[in-house]
Structure 1
Amino acid sequence: MALRHFLTLTDLSPAELEQLIQRAIELKAEHKARKTSIQFPNYVLGMVFEKSSTRTRISFEAGMAHLGGHAIFLSSRDTQLGRGEPIEDSAKVISSMCDIVMIRTFEHDIIERFAANSRVPVINALTDDYHPCQLLADIQTFVENRGSMKGKQVAWVGDGNNMCQSYINAAVMLDFKLMVACPEGFDPRADLVAAAGDHVEIVRDPVDAARGSDLLVTDVWASMGQEEEKAERRRKLAGYQINRTLMDLANPDALYMHCLPAKRGEEISAELMDDPNTVIWDEAENRLHAQKALLEFLLKQAEA
C-alpha cells in the first residue's frame, strides 16, 4: 500500500475522516476508563518544531506514550534544519530512524518537500496554510456535543488564516456551509474558496455570518511570525470578536470554539472564555484523542 501522509484534511477521504473521529471518541472513552491502548511499543515519533506550541507538543507526546511508543522533541535549535541542511536531506535521515514524523513549521512547501523524501508517514501539525490536526479536534468536539456537521452552518470570524483554510477543507468533506466573516485583505486563499463552491461564502460583517449558525469559530488576530503587524492587524480586525451579542444571533444551541491560545478581549470576549459551559477546554483536550486516532490510522496504514 502506498505511504499515507496527513498534510491536509483532504489526505483522508470523507469516510475515513468520519471513521477517524469516531475512533477518537472511542479512544477518549477508553482513556477516561483507564483502559490501556498500547499498540505500538518501541515505535518512535519524531516531533519537529520550527514553531513552538503547548497543546501540540503535549498532545502528541502524551498520545504516543499512551500508544506504547516514544516521542522525540526536535526544535530548530536542536537540528541541522535550523542550520541550513536541505529539507530533503533531513527528511531522509529523520525518517530512517523514526516510525512517524510530525512537523510544525512555516511555509506549507516545507512539509510537502519533507513528505516527498520521507520513508514514513508525515503529519502536518501546523503550517502557514493549514492546521488539520486542530480541525480533527474541533470536529470531534462538535460531534460529541451536537452530532454530525452535515447540513450545519459554521461561522468563521476573523483572519482567513490556516485554521480558516482547514475549515474550508472540512466544509467540503463534511458537507456543511462555512460563512467566513473577515475584513478586506484578510480573505482565505481564493483558489480554496473557488474550489469549495457553495460550501463557502465570504462576508464582511460578522453579524451576517453568525445569524443562523450552529458553530462560531475564531483565532488570534496575529499569529506566530506576524508580531510586527500586531498593531495594524488589531486595528483592522477590531469588530471581529466572538462575544455574547454575536452568539445571540446564532442558533439557540450554537457552540463556539477557539484553538488557543486566546487573547481575551480581542478575538473573543473574556465572558465567553470563562463561561463554565464552554466547550473550548474539551476542544483543547480532544487534540490528544484525535491525534491518537490519527497516529493509529497512519501507522496501521504503513504496516498494511
Structure 2
Amino acid sequence: MTRAKKAKAPATPALLTDATLPAPAMAGRDFLSNLDMTPQELRAVLDTAHSMKRGQWRQVKPLAGLTLALIFEKASLRTRTTFDVGMYQLGGHAITLTNQEIGLGTRERISDVARNLERWVDGVMGRVYLQQTLQELAQHARIPVINGLSDMLHPVQLLADYQTIEEHLGEVRGKRIVYIGDGNNLANSHIHMGVLTGADVTIVTPVGYEPNGAVLMDAVKQGARITLTNDLAAVDGADVLYTDVWISMGQEAEAEHRRRAFRGYQVNAAMLDRIAPNGIFLHCLPAHYGEEVVEEATDHPKSCVFNQAENRLHAQKALLYHILGGTQPRW
C-alpha cells in the first residue's frame, strides 16, 4: 500500500531586518496625488504593502523617533485609525489635530501652520476640504505632506484599492475597472491610477456628474485607457466594480437632487451577477445603504470591501516607510 505523502506546511515568509529593508523610494517627498509617484515607485509601495501584510516587518521599527501630524478638517474612521496605528507599528508616533484646534486659514494662516509644524514633526497628513489647502501646506513646509483626502483626490485610498485588486486578481494591467457613481475625488484618483498601471478604467456616471475634465484630458494625453459613459451596460464583465457615496460631506443640501440623478446606479446583488465570474466589488466606505449600495452587496461573495478597508493600514504603512524611511530623528 502506498502511503500518502504528508502535506508540506506553507513556507513562513522571511522576516526583514534593518539590514534587509528596501531603500525608501520616495524619501522626503510630498504625496498629494497618485501621479506624484512613478509606476516604479508605485510598484515599490505595493510590494512593501504586501510584505507588511504577510508580517515580514514585525521585528523592525524603521520610523522610530519620528512623528506625523494628522490634520482633520473632515470626520474620519479609516484614515485616522490607520495612519495612527501605522505610525505606532513602524515605531513612530502620530498626533491628531482637528480643525477646531488649529483653524486652518481662519485662526492661523495655512503658511504659518506649515512653518510651525515643520519645526516639531517629520511629516504631515491632511484630510481636508480643498486640494489647495494641501498644496499651500506643501509649499510652505520643509517636511513631506500627504493627501489623506481632498475635494479633488483621494490617493491613499487608491493604494489600498490596488493592493486589494492584486491580492484577488493578480496583474492589474489590462483589467477592466468600472467605477459607478459620482465623478468625485475617487473617480479622479481612479483615472490617475489608470495612467500609472495600464488598467482599463471606465467611469459610469449620470450626465452632469462627470469627473474633473482636466484630470480626464491629461490622462488621455498620457495614453491611459479611460472610458467615460452613462451606459450601465459598461458594468457587464467588469473585473472590478467600484462605487462611492452619492452625497459627500459638504453636499448635504444637494441630497434629494443627487438621489434622483443617481437612481438606477445602485450596486446590488443583481448588478454583481453581471460582473466577471471572478470579479470583485469594492467600496471605499462609509456606505450609505439604500443609496449607492445595499447591504447584500457588501456581504456578497464577490465583495472585498472589508479586506479593502484593512488594506488601508498596510498600504499607508508602506507609503509612510517610503516617504519617511531614512529620516533621522531630530532629538
TM-score bin (small chain): over 0.9
The correspondence of residues 111-126 of structure 1 with structure 2, limited to 5 A, is 111-126=134-149
Following superposition, the deviation at residue 276 of structure 1 comes to 5.3
Instruction: Flag the 1:300–1:40 CA change in 2: closer, same or farther, 3 A.
Output: closer
TM-score (norm 2): 0.87
The correspondence of residues 1-304 of structure 1 with structure 2, limited to 5 A, is 3-30=28-55, 35-81=58-104, 83-197=106-220, 199-207=225-233, 209-275=234-300, 278-300=303-325
Following superposition, the deviation at residue 163 of structure 1 comes to 0.4
Asked if 1 retains the 8 angstrom alpha-carbon contact of 2:125 and 2:146, the reply is: yes
Corresponding letter in the other structure for 2:61: I
SS in 2 for 1:6: coil
Spell out structure 1 runs of 4+ moving beyond 4 A. Answer: none
SS in 2 for 1:72: strand
Following superposition, the deviation at residue 2 of structure 1 comes to 8.2
Structure 1, 82-91 or 37-46: larger mean CA deviation: 82-91
Corresponding letter in the other structure for 1:246: M
Asked if 2 retains the 8 angstrom alpha-carbon contact of 1:264 and 1:273, the reply is: no
Taking the aligned partners of 1:151 and 1:80, their CA distance within structure 2 comes to 44
Taking the aligned partners of 1:8 and 1:133, their CA distance within structure 2 comes to 9
Following superposition, the deviation at residue 3 of structure 1 comes to 4.0
Taking the aligned partners of 2:244 and 2:33, their CA distance within structure 1 comes to 19
Taking the aligned partners of 1:245 and 1:227, their CA distance within structure 2 comes to 29
Instruction: Flag the 1:94–1:146 CA change in 2: closer, same or farther, 3 A.
Output: same
Taking the aligned partners of 1:277 and 1:149, their CA distance within structure 2 comes to 17
1:252-293 deviation digits (Å, cap 9, x = unpaired):
111110000001221112211123552111100100000000
Aligned residues: 300
Following superposition, the deviation at residue 302 of structure 1 comes to 5.3
TM-score (norm 1): 0.94
Q: If you compute each CA radius of gyration, which structure gives the higher value, 1 or 2?
A: 2
Taking the aligned partners of 1:161 and 1:301, their CA distance within structure 2 comes to 35
Taking the aligned partners of 1:93 and 1:243, their CA distance within structure 2 comes to 48
Asked if 1 retains the 8 angstrom alpha-carbon contact of 2:148 and 2:155, the reply is: yes
Structure 2: tracts of 5 or more residues without a match: 1-25
Structure 1, 195-204 or 101-110: larger mean CA deviation: 195-204
Asked if 2 retains the 8 angstrom alpha-carbon contact of 1:120 and 1:302, the reply is: no
Structure 1: tracts of 5 or more residues without a match: none
SS in 2 for 1:165: helix
Corresponding letter in the other structure for 1:172: V
CA RMSD of aligned residues (A): 1.7
Asked if 1 retains the 8 angstrom alpha-carbon contact of 2:281 and 2:302, the reply is: no
Following superposition, the deviation at residue 246 of structure 1 comes to 1.9
SS in 2 for 1:83: coil
Asked if 2 retains the 8 angstrom alpha-carbon contact of 1:104 and 1:127, the reply is: yes
